[in-house]
Structure 1
Amino acid sequence: MRVRSAFLSLVLLSSLASCGSEPEPGPDPAPPPVVAGYFTEWGVYGRGYQVKNLQTSGAAGRLTHLKYAFGEVAGGRCAVGDDWAAHRKPIAAADSVDGVADQPAATLRGSFGQLRKLKAAHPRLRLIWSFGGWTGSAGFAEAARDPAGFAESCRALLADSRWAGLFDGIDIDWEYPNACGLACDRSGPDALTRLLGALRSALGPQALISTAVPGDVTKLRAADYAGASRYANWLGAMTYDYFGAGKGLRTAPHSALSAYPGIPRETATTEATVGELLRLGVPAEKVLVGVGFYGRGWTGVSGAAPGATATGPAPGRFGKGIEDYHVLAARCPPTGTVGGQAYARCGGQWWSYDTPETIAAKVAYARSRSLGGLFAWELAGDTPDAALLTALAAG
């Protein structure tokens, strides 16, 4: 009897000890999918797209990350792009996020002042300052010769007392390292990796660091994007502008999800770009799919289907052969879909662009490949009620 009592006591003590012990830690939960969008510095002018539009459209509540484009790379250092638009322009009450006009003596006005108000209203929204861009990438070659100096200049700029704490990190939009964009770069395949490594050292482990990467698979092979991904939170694949009137006089969707019969170049698709990044060794969770909130168009077209001949680029408000989605959706609505992107024939014009429906397919694709998320270039192209961003965030 005493042996049985002793055994029961041991069982009871063991059970009590088990109840009081700490549970074994489980794996860290996967981060939520990224829903990022670019806000362009120049959009406050001709387009009249203010930070307030992010609030009134509902976009701010759907975004996880907002990228402000672009800062400059001048003399191999980070610098403000347009001082007036960024932090000096007085914002009237009607254009202000909180309905309060900037005071004349305020030390921070412009879009930065409005972004501070937007962030206060949406504390989970992370802000990232993007540097470079298509016309602003020439300075990266000099920056690559002194990565530590470049990184320290970026850290100091983020810490400027006028907007300290506003930005959570930096985005590098170098078009393209060791390849040709507006000009050709010969910085070497490891230049971007060294640049991002220096940024990580200067900004620390908590900062957000991202980089835009080309959609062209041949350009992806020119630089060490797998190495760069070690220091970046994600790589944003520019899976758009595969085709356009400036690249040929036959119509083709500029941002197809997948190949289709008659596509001019088999690798000019989102699936091909993502597949190449994964093949190169970039982790899937660090890849973002890019979605253009605009269309590419031709004029003088000979037929409604893709592959028709044309005479040149269709007119656009801010550039030949390009127009915002919210304009095209009303003026030239879709007449078909090919390769996962909508196209539209209206009169003598032919346009391709994404719609809420085709974006839903791209979101599903990103989920099927366990990618990090998606991003939009750029938010001013959306409708007043953010129809495209709503579809992008739905997944």
Structure 2
Amino acid sequence: MMRLIGYVGARDLSVITEEDIRCLDVINIAFGQVRDACMVWDGQACRPALERIRKIKPGIKILLSAGGWGADGFSQAALTAQGRESMAASAAALVTEYGLDGIDIDWEYPGMALSGIGSHVKDKENFTLLLQAVREGLDAVGGGYMLTTAAGGDSYFTRQTNMKEAAVFLDYVQLMTYDLQGGFQKVTGHHAALRPGNCSLFDACVDKAVKAFLAAGVPAEKLVVGVPFYSRKWEGVKGGGPGLGQEAETVGGYGPDYGSLTADYINKNGFIRYWDEEASSPYLFDGSTFISYEDEESMALKVRYAEENGLGGIMYWEYRCDGTGTLTGFLRRELDRGLCPGGKQEPGRGPCPGVEQEPGRRPCPGVAQEPGWGLCPGVVQEPEVNRGGEAAHESD
């Protein structure tokens, strides 16, 4: 079953819309932390929001994600059996205290200290041992709790871990297939390309990441493709043309989120939208500033890719970045398209209750309606496709 998983900051749990709650299968709360070999999260203020979400969609899964970029403590906790047992016990205590459905481990990254976190030569084996301990700790308190991990979206992560062994203890491996170019490079490119293009450094892309994790022994149905709701931006781009693959004065730092992009950048204020056919990615350029981002066109292609390769679904980072309030619903609709005529039907999948049916979006005949599944209100139709690097201009 293809799932839609969204990272939602704890402060945003109270503002996530009813429509988006119905569209999501899993919410990963960002973030809990690791302190002194214990997983910690003060979720008291979130209790009313969690109750509201459960009331709207009783079947939704809510996980606490521990870690994130720059979050220390994993390597130290995983180093000893005592530390791993402490992590497992604290994880089990959190899910029972707050009525959660599981834990998401976001260790960025085992065996690497890029963000200044602690690391150890035994991180590779200890990563698996930590997951095993947490899995056993969750199983000990019953309830069928989930355990997932967020994994770096390239082969460096599979080299630093034993993913075949680790996957045994995981429900999903969520690939962070974004930030693939930009953070350390002064050459413009796509930070979340589906496929390698002529200007992709190291051919970093979704397809390469998926193949690396499959080769490492992770079952396809456990792999989830990540999509970003934010951009990366290079300034002082040299060389002219549409700006792709050009040297810049800056690295590709974090750029505008999707809400800001639609309001102020996409075919506005001198920025022109281009489409890279080879990479299946859009980008913006105004003659000096280059922005790599994702939109409905590229996200729809990622959904199709996940379906064609039997993957577990789509994950996004993160809810707050979509000021338009449309992308969660759009992804839900794209995931459900494959369930209708011409695709494989799953029981219980239909449009959201009370939603006027769009032409050509008919639910499969004889499908029993399950509240909260399917097409959602307020979904924007797919954009017109602009190919071959041609700019997409607004109509007057």
Bin for the TM-score computed over the shorter chain: 0.7 to 0.9
Equivalence for 1:323 = 256
Contact 1:35-1:65 within 8 A present in 2 as well: yes
Whether the 8 Å contact between 1:37 and 1:65 is mirrored in structure 2 is yes
8 A contact 1:179–1:219 mirrored in 2: no
- Residues 24 and 328 in structure 2, CA contact (< 8 A), matched pair in contact too: no
Match of 2:3 in 1: 34
Shift of the alpha carbon at 1:113?
2.1
Q: Judge conservation of contact 1:357–1:391 (CA < 8 Å) in 2.
A: no
CA distance in 1, matches of 2:3, 2:328: 15
- Are 1:250 and 2:187 an aligned pair? yes
- State the partner residue of 2:367: none
Cα distance between partner residues in 2 of 1:384 and 1:269: 26
Partner in structure 1 of residue 155 of structure 2: 217
The runs of 5 or more residues in structure 1 that have no matched partner are: 1-31, 45-49, 88-109, 315-319
**Whole-angstrom distance in 1 between the partners of 2:251 and 2:160:** 30
How many Å apart are 1:118 and its aligned residue?
1.3
Task: Give the letter for the 2:4 counterpart.
Answer: V
Q: How big is the shift at 1:188? A: 3.1
SS at match of 2:170: coil
**Matched residue of 1:276: which SS?**
helix
Q: Mark the structure with the bigger radius of gyration.
A: 1
Native 8 Å contact 1:63 1:393 kept in 2: no
Q: Which of residues 108, 120, 142 in structure 1 aligns to 2:76?
A: 142
Contact 2:14 2:49 in 1 (8 A): yes
Per the normalisation by structure 2, the TM-score is 0.76
Name the counterpart of 1:112.
47
Shift of 1:383: 3.5
How large is the Cα RMSD of the aligned pairs? 1.8
- Give secondary structure in 1 for the equivalent of 2:15: helix
1:78 paired with 2:39, answer yes
Matched, 1:285 2:221: yes
CA distance in 1, matches of 2:47, 2:105: 19
Q: Aligned residue pairs: how many?
A: 318
Cα shift at 1:387: 2.7
**Contact between 2:85 and 2:133, CA under 8 Å: does it hold in 1?**
yes
**Could you tell me which of 266, 283, 289 is aligned with 1:349?**
289
Look up the match of 2:22: 61
1:199-239 CA-partner distances (Å, limit 9, x unpaired): 11111171110001111312321111111110110100110
Bigger share in helix: 1
Name whichever of 124-133 and 210-219 sits farther off.
210-219
Is residue 376 from structure 1 mapped to residue 285 from structure 2 by the alignment?
Answer: no
Q: Take 1:378 and 1:73, find their aligned partners in 2: how far apart are those partners?
A: 21
1:293-304 correspondence runs (5 A): 293-302=229-238, 303=240, 304=242
CA drift of 1:158 comes to 2.2
Equivalent residue for 2:115?
A: 182
Paired amino acid for 1:270: V
- TM-score calculated relative to the size of structure 1: 0.77
Report the alpha carbon displacement of residue 386 of structure 1 after superposing the two structures with TM. 2.3
**Who is 1:385 aligned against?**
325
Q: Shift of the alpha carbon at 1:337?
A: 1.9
Matched to 1:324, the amino acid is: D
d(CA) in 2 for partners of 1:51, 1:341 = 30
Q: Alignment partner of 1:66: what SS? A: strand
**Identity value in percent:** 30
Give yes or no for contact 1:382–1:389 (8 Å, CA) kept in 2.
no
